[in-house]
Structure 1
Amino acid sequence: MSGVVLSNVVKRFGEVEVIRGVDLTVDHGEFCVFVGPSGCGKSTLLRMVAGLEATTSGTVRIGSRDVTHADPSDRGVAMVFQTYALYPHMTVAENMGFGLKMTGHPRQEIAAKVAEAARILKLEPLLQRKPKALSGGQRQRVAIGRAIVRGPDVFLFDEPLSNLDAELRVEMRVEIARLHREIGATMIYVTHDQVEAMTLADKIVVLRAGRIEQVGKPLDLYHDPDNRFVAGFIGSPSMNFVAARRLDGGLLAAPGVAGEPVPGPEVAAPSGDVVLGIRPQHVQIVAGDTHRVDMIEALGGVSYIHLVAPSGEKLVAEQHQDATARAGDRVAVRFDPSKAFLFTADAAGRRLR
């Protein structure tokens, strides 16, 4: 079994603590994605698993082994970086087999493993090409193939698609998902792109400022976020947040979306200031003159209507049709309270349930 267990892991650079007591279990064969904004510590945490960053305190286990202080070469991991890092003077086959060649594996064994990796990644026609004759997506597949031939216990991916254009990113997401299904290995993947996280992951780890905010399956995080940060980070476009006040009798005063108090989500929370969260697909545009249309993103199958409320707060409404409103128009909005969320109004933004 080759799962990964992090126990109270801390990383400091001098006096600066960038990873703050992380506890996490990645099960054998699981595809786990670390996601979060730039500077949240996701790449540092991945490099600690790889052994490329020393662990200040805590333990890192891979399978049954404590590898906290083991060399990267002794951890049974293979890492795919954002940059392809291919040797320009070597062929695809030579690049993929170079690691095994350096560790003294027999030539016949190397050839067999390279051939198998090429079959999995559909690289057979390209084995004799040099990297300069490959597209960006093909180069990234070669980098992944180089990891496959090593037969690691755990694959680590550090934002491997960020250098590719939009079409290639979609193509490579499909390739990586298919690869995981075929070889069934444990994979940990770092990205700042929550769409990649949602489409690839068995488990998502949402990080902020070196701490784990929430861990769960993609749709569990989407439908049941623990706090305002997770609710806003998971989902595209982001959830709308407006200031509100919970009144006696379960009514909600939310000037950003309603001119008068409306029924709020059913939660066990006292009266007082809260933040109302509504996803764009649950905001409906109706006749009225309370909100100004600021901008429209017409994407063909879907349109995103950007609105400004009387309070100055901004909202996005999603329409699965061509938008009839135009920038500068006046409209009104309504929402389904059963689809809304309530959060505390303080900095923690804790979900009210």
Structure 2
Amino acid sequence: MTGVTLAKAVKKYGDVQVIHDVDLSIRDGEFCVFVGPSGCGKSTLLRMIAGLEETSSGQIHIGDRDVTGLDAADRGVAMVFQSYALYPHMTVEENMGFGLKMNGHPKAAIKAKVDEASRILKLDDYLKRKPKALSGGQRQRVAIGRAIVRGPEVFLFDEPLSNLDAELRVDMRVEIARLHKEIGATMIYVTHDQVEAMTLADKIVVLRAGRVEQVGSPMDLYADPDNRFVAGFIGSPSMNFLKGQVAGGVIVVPALENRRVRTSVVLPKEGATVLVGIRPQHLTVEAGDSSLILELRERLGGVSYDYLRSSTGEKIIVETRGDEALPEGTAVTLDFDDTKAYFFDGQSEQRLR
């Protein structure tokens, strides 16, 4: 197996540039996830690596080879799409081995590779079935098996779980994580679901509008985001952001009854706007005389989420545990440990450190 390197990769459609000078290094055997909102360019970037989209400028290397100008078939990659794209008239076994058959591989070699992929994906009992007799999760495993038998240097996944229901998505996340551990291949995976990204990735690449916002391990991005976008995107529920103003070396937050937040970070000038970021689990809520109103409680069993609205119109989510619940419509007060807060410049939205 081998790694992937992008150097100043650019994609343009006419005069419209959708991928902007992406520099990225993915190590041999690494599970890298491209994550970001719809339209951020993550699938386009994956298709550029696959050779399904032409790279307008820059370079793409797979291992030691410059593959920028190579056709998709010559890049040594296999791609698993959102749609299963299985041949309905073929059995599972035939679907998995079809690519090798078309390339003239001997029957014995095809069978050996299909049997190995079937063992890895636990498809032995389904080899003689046709796709219509399979569940959605089983069909996606067949699509992954078809990629495995090709023996690619790099596996590419383009939102492969989007067509599955919630329970199957969880099961397939586990299957894909197990697959990566077993075969040790370099894998690049596209999703808009940050939970998938946090669960699967060794490395996450956060994209916005065709640009890389930050690259790092899941917990690095969660604990040390570079800007408001990454801080809000990584973590579920997302981080709360409250407007504050620098006054006398502290940050005054109107939404929290002008609470004064102290920090050791370098603050901008007096009167400047600062965004105070607080994760839901770092807030505590109780009934009190305040302009904050508990609008809704979302009960999920062992954990609940309180949705509050301030007099300034800002929405705040608080994670709570236990059975005690305040009635909806209650005026509440909030508190938090100042050392748990993050601070972002009100103009650039970059992290203040």
Q: Same fold (TM over 0.5)?
A: yes
Partner of residue 263, structure 2: 265
Question: In the alignment, residue 262 of structure 1 is paired with which amino acid?
Answer: R
Determine helix, strand or coil for the equivalent of 1:351.
Answer: coil
* In 2: Cα distance, 1:182 partner to 1:87 partner: 27
Match of 2:113 in 1: 113
How far did 1:44 drift? 0.1
Q: What is the CA-CA distance between 1:323 and the residue it aligns to?
A: 4.8
Higher mean C-alpha deviation, range 91-100 or range 279-288: 279-288
The 2-side partners of 1:320 and 1:10 are apart by 47
Corresponding residue for residue 58 of structure 1:
58
- SS at 1:256 equivalent: helix
Aligned to 2:293: 292
Q: Is the 8 A contact 1:303 1:323 kept in 2?
A: no
Identity value in percent: 66
Instruction: Tell whether the 8 Å contact from 1:244 to 1:273 is kept in structure 2 after alignment.
Output: yes
CA distance in 2: counterparts of 1:14 and 1:321, whole angstroms: 56
Structure 1 residue ranges (4+ consecutive) displaced by more than 6 angstroms after TM superposition: none
Question: What per-residue deviation string (whole Å, max 9, x for no partner) do you get for residues 85-129 of structure 1?
Answer: 000000000000000001110000000000000000000000000
Aligned residue pairs: how many? 350
Find the aligned partners of 1:3 and 1:242 in 2 and give their Cα distance: 41
Please give the alpha-carbon distance, in whole angstroms, between the structure 2 residues aligned to 1:323 and 1:20.
50
Give the corresponding residue for 2:31: 31
Q: Is the 8 A contact 2:345 2:352 kept in 1?
A: yes
Partner of 1:125: 125
**Structure 1 counterpart of 2:29, one-letter code:** G
Q: Superposition pairs for residues 174-193 of structure 1, below 5 Å?
A: 174-193=174-193
8 Å Cα contact 1:77-1:156 kept in structure 2:
yes
Q: Are the aligned partners of 1:300 and 1:322 in contact in 2 as well (CA < 8 Å)?
A: no
2:254 equivalent in structure 1 = 255
The residue number in structure 2 matching 1:84 is 84
1:339 alignment counterpart:
340
Q: Residues of 2 paired with 1:141 and 1:261: CA distance?
A: 53
Task: Quote the residue 2:218 is aligned against.
Answer: 218
> TM-score, normalized by length of structure 1?
0.98
Cα distance in structure 1, aligned partners of 2:264 and 2:303: 30
How big is the alpha-carbon RMSD for the aligned residues of Structure 1 and Structure 2? 1.0
Supply the distance in 2 between the matched residues of 1:330 and 1:284 (Cα, whole angstroms).
14
| Matches of 1:261 and 1:235, distance apart in 2 | 25
Deviations 1:204-248 (A, max 9, x none): 000000000000000000000000000000000010011001222
Structure 2 residue 307 is the aligned partner of structure 1 residue 309? no
Native 8 Å contact 1:92 1:126 kept in 2: yes
2:47 aligns to what?
A: 47
SS in 1 for 2:255: coil
Q: Which residue of 1 aligns with 2:327?
A: 326
Asked whether the 8 Å contact 2:251–2:274 carries over to 1, the reply is no
Where do 5+ consecutive residues of structure 2 fail to align? Answer: none
Task: Tell me by how many angstroms 1:67 deviates.
Answer: 0.3
Task: Give 1:166-205 correspondences, 5 Å limit.
Answer: 166-205=166-205
Aligned residues of 2:287 and 2:330 also touching (Cα < 8 A): no
Gaps of at least 5 residues in structure 1 are: none
Equivalence for 1:206: 206
The DSSP-based 3-state class of the residue aligned with 1:178 is: helix
